[in-house]
A and B are shown apart, each in its own frame.
Chain A
Amino acid sequence: MPYGSPWSEQFVRQLADREVRSEFAADQVRARIALLIRSLREQPDRNWTQAELGERAGKPQNVISRFEDPDYGKMSLQSLFDLAAAFDLPVWVDMPEWKDWLALIKDVPNQETRRAGFDLETLIDPVRYISSKENTAAPAAGAAASAAAEAIRNMLIAQPQSDQMRGAASNANASPADSNKLPIENIASGAMGSVVLARSAAA
């Protein structure tokens, strides 16, 4: 396996043929959707039967059973939205580059998969938001997530008012658009370490 790469040379060579890789990618998506639906349905705080999920998504049990069949693959986008709404989760679709996609498929939905539905309080409170991410972070990422969360927590405690924070952001030569963002927006945009902490130092 090349250093720093999550896949081996042999694995990638197996995908050298265009038809093989197209079919492989399609089957991965089909199988993963099926596994994801089952994992979310069986998540301990839901623990729904197929019939219960069907009731929430407005579909009969046998349709849910079909959606959990990795060979089915004919689910409509609307059905996916209906299921996501039943779980109170959004859907994200992308066509990434292969290197990004290959990294994404390292994770397979399983019994440890946890996805919490929309929670206003958690989403507007960055400290709790980060803490909840800390608790659900993969073990390998745990230390980094904890360190980032701790740093952000300290920064937020050091700046009692968000108005002061906006002022500090302006002083740190942040763009006008950035200066209007609440910390949560920067965290959600993936800039949590560099942008937010840089502002803290400038303050």
Chain B
Amino acid sequence: MPVVSSFSYYGEKGVSAIKSDIRETYEFGSAKLKAHTLSRLKILAALPRSQWHEGYFKKLSGICEGLWEIRFKADNVQQRPLGFHISETEFVILFWAREKGDKFVPKKACEKALKRKAELLENGDLKHALWLALE
């Protein structure tokens, strides 16, 4: 099955490279974090949005309304990259949160992600194609 969904991420253009805490989380993460991130994004990329089942992906509500989380476990921590579908086939990662005891770490993860979503919708330059190759 070819790639049917794509990913992008929030990042500010620096002098020579894109500044992104999302990318830094991956780059400075453990081998397990890298492996699981690559694996789950690859699985999701091969499926249309309608088949992104809970377990892999979840719509958030309450103060996180307007956001979705990609769900996987790495390093014994629930990883929760937050984002939204900017189109039917493209998911934008806005902030890399973790979950501990039903609460996001950092606590203001949703607030930050929603702020970035608003900024990104105003300024398309903040959106960049994912640095990972999924096929």
- Assess whether B36 is interfacial by the CB under 8 Å rule: yes
Contact segment of B45-53, B102-110, B111-119: B45-53
- Residues in B with CB closer than 8 Å to A6 are 135
A7 & B35 in contact (Cβ 8 Å cutoff): no
Q: Are the C-beta atoms of A106 and B1 separated by less than 8 Å? A: yes
Between A32, A70, A111, the greatest number of chain B beta carbons within 10 A of the residue's beta carbon is seen for A70
Cβ of A123 within 8 Å of any chain B Cβ, yes or no, is no
Is B34 in the interface zone, CB < 8 Å from A? yes
- Report yes or no: A35 in contact with B133, Cβ–Cβ below 8 A: no
Q: Please report the number of residue pairs spanning A and B whose Cβ atoms sit closer than 8 angstroms.
A: 77
Distance in Å from the Cβ of B2 to the closest Cβ of chain A?
A: 8
Q: Which residues of B contact A155 (CB under 8 A)?
A: none
Find A23's partner among B1, B31, B53 (CB 8 Å cutoff): B31
Contact A71/B73 with A19-B35, A110-B51 known, Cβ cut-off 8 Å: yes
A31 CB contact (under 8 Å) in B31, B32, B40, B132: B40
Residue of B at shortest CB range from A8? B133
Those of B21-59 within 8 Å (CB) of chain A: 31-32, 34-36, 38-40, 42-43, 46-47, 51, 53, 55-56
B10 on the interface (CB 8 Å rule)? no
- Size band of the interface chain B makes with A: 20 to 34
Residue of B nearest to A22 (CB): B35
| A interface size (C-beta, 8 A) | 32
Q: Does the CB pair A38–B1 fall under 8 Å?
A: no
Are B72 and A71 in contact, with the CB atoms below 8 A? Answer: yes
The reply to whether B135 and A106 contact each other, CB–CB distance below 8 Å, is: yes
For the complex, what is the distance from the CA of A35 to the CA of B3, rounded to whole Å? 17
Are A21's CB and B35's CB within 8 A? Answer: yes
Identify the closest chain A residue to B39 (Cβ): A27
> In the complex, what distance in Å separates the CA atom of A51 from the CA atom of B89?
33
Q: Given A19-B31, A19-B32, A110-B1, does the pair A27, B46 have CB atoms closer than 8 Å?
A: no
Cβ contact within 8 Å between A69 and B55: yes
**Which residues of the other chain, A, contact B34 by a CB distance below 8 angstroms?**
14, 17, 20
Contact, CB under 8 Å: A108 / B47: yes
- Flag whether B120 is at the interface (Cβ < 8 A): no
User: Which positions in B face A, CB cutoff 8 Å?
Assistant: 1, 31-32, 34-36, 38-40, 42-43, 46-47, 51, 53, 55-56, 71-73, 132-135
- Taking Cβ atoms with an 8 Å cutoff, the residues of A that contact B are 1, 6-8, 10-11, 14, 17, 19-24, 26-28, 31-32, 34-35, 38, 68-71, 105-108, 110-111
Q: Which 8 A-B pairs have the closest CB atoms?
A: A23-B35, A10-B133, A19-B31, A27-B39, A108-B46, A24-B35, A11-B133, A71-B73
9 further interface pairs, Cβ-Cβ under 8 Å (given A27-B35, A70-B40, A108-B1)? A11-B134, A17-B34, A20-B34, A23-B35, A31-B56, A69-B55, A70-B56, A71-B55, A111-B51
A sample of 27 cross-chain residue pairs with beta-carbon separation below 8 angstroms, ordered by A number, consists of A6-B135, A7-B135, A8-B135, A10-B133, A11-B135, A14-B132, A17-B31, A19-B32, A20-B34, A21-B35, A23-B32, A23-B36, A24-B35, A24-B36, A27-B39, A27-B72, A31-B40, A31-B56, A34-B55, A38-B53, A68-B55, A69-B55, A70-B56, A70-B72, A71-B73, A108-B1, A110-B47
